[in-house]
Amino acid sequence: MEIVRNVYRVAGPPYGTHQNVYLIKGKDALVMVDTGIDAEELAVIDENIVYWGLKDYPISHVLITHSHYDHCANAHILRKRGAKIVAGPSDAEGMELGDDRTASYAFTHKKKFVPCPVDLKVKDGDIINAAGLKIKVIHVPGYTRGSVFYKFVTEGKIILFTGDVIKVNFERHNFRLGAKLGWSGGMDYDRDLYFETIKKISSMKADFLLPGHLEPCMREGWQILRDAYTVARYEWHNQPSCTLDKSKINR
Amino acid sequence: MRILKDIYQFSGESYGYIPSGPIGDNVFVIKGKDALVMIDSGGEEEEVKIIDDGLKYWGLSNYPISHVLICHGHAWHMGNAHIFRKRGAKIVAGLDDAEAIEIGDYRVHDSPPFKTKPYIPCIVDMKVKDGDIIEAAGLEFEVIALPGHTPGSVCYKLFMDGKTIFFSGDAVTVGPECKFSVLGWSGSAGYDREKYFESIKKISKMHTDIILPSEYQLCLKDGWKILQDSYLRALLEWRQPAEYDD
């Protein structure tokens, strides 16, 4: 589906896949955000690329929001097709080594993770020039060390690709719309760091939130960011934090 | 957002909060020949602005809305029908829900949290029944009656872009992540489980590629799987009378 002009969602729950994959059409090329989990999902992506008339454009860059298997397992295939792979600090290394930072231990029902070189290792504040577009990197560590938001402004509207750090949650049973925080099974998950990140981003401006799972937010995305702080305080209050020493990451 | 080349979604869970609370009902617009067809209308007046913003953004403001097809007569899905009728749209609804829509009695469920302001009744221009073909904006919609959730619940079937599309109302909705189906709310004044079961059985044998329901998630691939799953859900959940039923 075309979320706003030139920004597409080419895989995700409506297409029967667990994680979202987005495409931005730039000047003569496409920028992909996350890659999906397997060949089957890549087929869905390709089908949508054909449907929306984008198949003649090359994918110049693939922006990885974080190194978990379900978001970057197809990176090596897309790189072979000619795309440059972009990822945040630490997560880039995790993808290159294929270590526990890919959380492959949680995806044993899938094929073994294929490590993939990362062409562009980005840090907070970097501007990525891709397909004639400017995309800003915001480092949001905690969920993984190298989780990043990609910020893209189009027609005056701020779009944030939020990965798994902030998702949009509609709780039917209590009629509440708000933020949903990330899974805590990641090897380098760090709740204290995550909390600081949420505190920081809760005052950010955004119109659209395009997360790695579930549905996007099409209006007043800043409300969801703000709500994340409330949710984090409420859900994590009085719970012990559990931080693993970075040096102990299993290689 | 643009779901297919000529089908747009302008209201739903992704569209955030309005003063009365989060939006929960989907509104779709289909671009036909020189006109638009709307599926459901939203319940709150604030949603009209969101719909209008969407029409403007995608360059559709200059097309008239020729028809509003209502999937069922609950206020939070069709409370704005009177506004679009004033703008010139023909209102279409299932024969057995039309009376409730025109009178606006308890059957439309316009109490909070479904609706915060009183429901304004609306004349139904076309009262449709199973098998009817609606010609609107050069498109053909087939009516599939699915009584149960409400007496006049209908599904509108459209063939477009080589795909079959079901606008299934609340009769069959799609659960989180498109993994299973969700059956409609049983609190409705005209709810009839026996009829609902027959409707589910009927629709589960049909084929569709895409399901665009009035609530929750959309299903854009292998929609027939959701239809079949709805039959399984009904068998699992309904076969034994639940205790609270008597």
Beta partners for A25?
A: A30
Burial of B125 (0-12, 13-18, 19+ CB in 10 A): middle
Rounded average pLDDT over B63-81: 96
What integer pLDDT is reported at residue B19 of this predicted model? 86
Which one of A15, A218, A224, A227 would you mutate to disrupt binding with B, by most B Cβ within 10 Å of its Cβ? A218
Which residue of chain A is at minimal alpha-carbon distance from B219? A14
Measured in angstroms, the CA of B46 and the nearest CA of chain A are apart by 13
Instruction: For chain B, positions 205-244, list CB contacts with chain A under 8 A.
Output: 217-222
Q: Which domain holds residue A102?
A: 2-248
User: If you average pLDDT over residues B195-203, what whole number do you get?
Assistant: 96
Any residues with CB less than 8 A from the CB of A121 and at least 6 apart, and which? Answer: A87, A88, A89, A92
Confidence of residue B12 (pLDDT cuts 50, 70, 90): very high
Q: Which residue has the tokens 């039923």?
A: B245
pLDDT of residue B69: 98
pLDDT score of B239: 81
Q: The tokens 């559709």 sit on which residue?
A: B60
pTM for the complete prediction?
A: 0.91
Cβ distance B217 to A215 less than 8 Å, yes or no, reads yes
- Predicted local distance difference test score (pLDDT) of residue A243: 55
Select the more confidently predicted residue: B135 or A234: B135
What one-character DSSP code corresponds to residue B118?
P
Confidence of residue B117 (pLDDT cuts 50, 70, 90): confident
Q: Nearest residue of A to residue B212 by CA position?
A: A14
The answer to whether residue B195 scores a pLDDT higher than 60 is: yes
Q: What pLDDT, on a 0 to 100 scale, did the predictor assign at position A251?
A: 42
Whether the CB of B17 is below 8 Å from some CB of chain A: the reply is yes
CATH of the domain at A32: 3.60.15.10
**Which pLDDT belongs to residue A240?**
53
- Spell out where A140-203 has E strands: 148-154, 157-163, 166-171, 176-181
Inter-chain touch A214–B218, beta carbons under 8 Å: no
**Predicted local confidence at residue A172, as pLDDT:** 77
The set of residues, in sequence order, having a beta carbon less than 8 Å from that of B97 and lying 6+ positions away, is: B70, B72, B73, B107, B150, B151, B152, B153, B190
How many Cβ atoms from other residues are within 10 Å of residue B192's Cβ? Answer: 16
Count up the domains in chain A and report the number. Answer: 1
- What is the residue range of B79's domain? 2-239
Mutation target to probe the A interface, by most A beta carbons within 10 A, among B31, B111, B214, B221 is B221
Digitized pLDDT (tens) for each residue of chain A, 251 residues in all: 999 999 999 999 999 999 999 999 999 999 999 999 999 999 999 999 999 999 999 999 999 999 999 999 999 999 999 999 999 999 999 999 999 999 999 999 999 999 999 999 999 999 999 999 999 999 999 999 999 999 999 999 999 999 999 999 988 777 888 999 999 999 999 998 999 999 999 999 999 999 999 999 999 999 999 999 999 988 887 555 555 455 554 44
User: A15, B13: Cβ pair inside 8 Å?
Assistant: no
The confidence score (pLDDT) of residue B206 equals 97
Which chain B residues contact residue A175 at CB under 8 A? 21-22, 24, 113
Q: Is the CA virtual torsion A77, A78, A79, A85 positive or negative?
A: negative
B55-71 burial, b if ≥16 CB within 10 A, otherwise e?
A: bebbebeebebbbbbbb
pLDDT value at residue B246: 47
C-alpha distance from A182 to closest chain B C-alpha (Å): 16
CA separation (Å) from B108 to A4, B93, B185?
A: 34, 13, 13
**Does a structural domain hold residue B245?**
no
| Whether the predicted pLDDT of B152 surpasses 80 | yes
pLDDT (0 to 100) of residue B62: 96
Q: Does the distance separating the beta carbons of A13 and B217 come in below 8 Å?
A: yes
Return residues 45-74 of B near A (CB < 8 Å): 50, 57
Distance of residue B126 Cα from the nearest chain A Cα, in angstroms? 31
Comparing B168 with B190, the larger pLDDT belongs to: B168
SS (H, E, C) B190-229: CCCHHHHHHHHHHHHCCCCCEEEECEEECECCCHHHHHHH
A170 vs B contacts (CB less than 8 Å): 13, 22, 24
Predicted-complex ipTM score: 0.89
| Contacts B14 to A, Cβ<8 Å | 168, 215-219
- Who among A1, A18, A177 is closest to B177 (CB)? A18
**Contact (CB<8Å) B178/A13:** yes
Of A1, A13, A213, the CB nearest to B3: A1
Question: Which residues from A are below 8 Å from B59, CB to CB?
Answer: none
Q: Which residue in chain B is spatially nearest to A18 when comparing CA positions?
A: B177
